A and B are shown apart, each in its own frame.
Chain A
């Protein structure tokens, strides 16, 4: 793909992305309005002075007495400048709370995704090369099993086996508390805490990607250009890597993009199981405290993450398949 074409493709994607994010912001605004208890009555309740005049004054201060479309405008312009409102329970801005927790979630989902892609594609390629063998059916059965297992339960079972029974890995948090670690030691410590949550989140997708890789490799292997490559006398390993696998990866990437939302949704459950201090855990705490402002901030943030992830997979797709046309 030429430079200009790529630029046009990117521009179209970004316009679409901005529209989707705007629509999500509007949905978020409507949900805030549906949530019980506006900020005014929450504050009035906390300060113990719930007389009508005080609440009316607060409502005016927050602009809650203006018509809905005006409030929507105030909200949208606020969000665009990074103002997601205030968590009245924690007395901090929602944006600062989320930003503080975001790196942990990105680390967890990134590690899980990388693990799932690497192991899934490897297993799928193995299964496709040995169709009908034990390896092949084992992978199919595993995939079927992971489709049916609740992700939080997988996490708990891994904790049961690897932390409670075998005592190999920690089950709680992100780093050893009360010890000052530096350099390699800190890295090793962090990795040990990351293994179980990342495995929990990644295993399901390993199964999905393995199945997908297997199916699309078998499909691509029957196409004419593979026969041509073989007739030309290209070595089998090269055909597998450059011709079959490269094309089969396209469907895996497409699917990864579609499932980005599920990956992030899953991280809420995994972070809850492992007390991983990311935005999923933040959402769970917001749930317990009935902190709707914060909860909706997390919703908005995760939606934007999905949209960004979709953009990345679009670019990956364009990179793997040079024929891709901007649509």
Chain B
């Protein structure tokens, strides 16, 4: 913990992330109206008519869109990461613990998913299963699990030969107990680091999907705001600039936190750098 707090970048990242979370939580208080509703004249510049960040082509408040969009980004980022972790940890634990044919099969399967262009696959999945919260989360999870499997497998391969695992086997503990209670807790630190970076890439992926019009049609999101501003960029630069800054800051903060965690959890590696 103290190692993490000594990393200036990580602390800044954490603070930014907290601010984004607060913005998402208080969106309903700061902007007590639907972000889809007209609030004034269209194409107001930032600061005009009480629009902090300007208004869009239908007179909607860009700032409100960003605040409500934070909810969608954080929600999809975390939930899809949890789903991807569930898939990746299960497959990685299976491959690393069982070894042999199972390991081979799982790794070929993982390689296939790493070869396929992940963004194109995500686009195809969301398009076919119609864009909504569930299909977006599942599509992002399906293209994000392979690195988890690789990391977990590698950890399991080295941990399963250790004495404490052999002791548990001699004591007759069940296979599930050995995997989840003995080995997994010891493999946790690389998984945590990976997870924070995965949330970052999930936020980027979600924004790209909704930029292409593959967002949930009932939820306003950052990518959607940029997509809406694209065709009128000559008239209203603020419509695409500010939501992009929101994505940039959030993803940067998540990456900084991830790097901080990595340094704090692998002190040997940090000192070498």
Contact = CB atoms under 8 A, between A and B. Distances in A.
Nearest to B129: A34
A164 B241 CA distance: 14
Contacts of A283: 120, 123
A216 B34 CA distance: 51
Given A261-B118, A268-B123, A287-B212, A147 B112 contact: no
B255 A147 contact: yes
Given A268-B123, A283-B123, A149 B208 contact: no
A150 B112 CA distance: 26
Main secondary structure of the interface of A (DSSP, over half): helix
A159 interface: yes
Contacts of B208: 150-152, 269
B233 A164 contact: yes
Interface residues of B, number: 41
Contacts, number: 132
A57 B258 CA distance: 58
B193 interface: no
Interface string B108-138: 0001101111111101110111100000000
A306 interface: yes
Contacts of A258: 114
A20 interface: yes
A144 B252 contact: yes
A45 interface: no
A295 B212 contact: no
Contacts of B207: 150
B233 A159 contact: yes
A310 to B, nearest CB: 7
Interface in B186-245: 200, 204, 207-208, 211-214, 223, 226, 229-230, 233-234, 237, 240-241, 244
A296 B124 contact: yes
Interface in A257-290: 258, 260-262, 264-266, 268-269, 272-273, 283-284, 287-288, 290
A310 B115 contact: yes
Nearest to A154: B244
Contact of B124 (A31, A266, A284): A31
Nearest first, the 6 A-B pairs at minimum CB distance are A265-B119, A261-B117, A153-B244, A148-B252, A148-B251, A265-B117
Given A261-B117, A265-B117, A307-B115, 16 more contacts: A23-B112, A24-B115, A24-B116, A34-B129, A148-B248, A150-B248, A152-B208, A153-B244, A153-B247, A164-B234, A268-B120, A269-B119, A287-B123, A288-B213, A302-B120, A306-B115
